[in-house]
Copies of this chain bind each other. A is one copy, B any other.
Amino acid sequence: MYGLIGKFTAKAGTRDDLAKILLEGIGGMPGCLSYVVAVDPADDNILWITEVWENKESHEASLGLPAVQDAIKRGRPLIDGMEMIATTNPVGGYGLMAS
């Protein structure tokens, strides 16, 4: 499996809109096993995104899906910064969906 832990900084006042856009984009992504969008209770501009994919290729392929392309297009103007905290190899857990 392939995992991502990312920290997004939204432009002031836009975090909720950005979270909504990200959540709208994640339906029906082949190979996606988990995708969680969270707000940071200590910083009004921070979003945490944690993802699990079957493999790196399925994540990369998702970036070309129309719904994801649309989310990127709408979300990008709201993003001030993106920091990849870690790429990982999940080995198991609870809440990993069948692809």
Contacts and interface: CB of A to CB of B under 8 A. Distances in A.
Contacts of A95: 33-36, 52, 95-97
Contacts of A1: 38
Interface residues of A, number: 35
A69 interface: no
Stoichiometry, as copies per complex, reads 2
Interface string A83-97: 001111111111111
A41 interface: yes
Given A3-B36, A5-B50, A23 B91 contact: yes
16 contacts: A5-B85, A23-B93, A26-B93, A33-B95, A34-B34, A34-B36, A34-B93, A36-B52, A36-B93, A36-B94, A36-B95, A38-B52, A38-B89, A39-B89, A41-B89, A48-B88
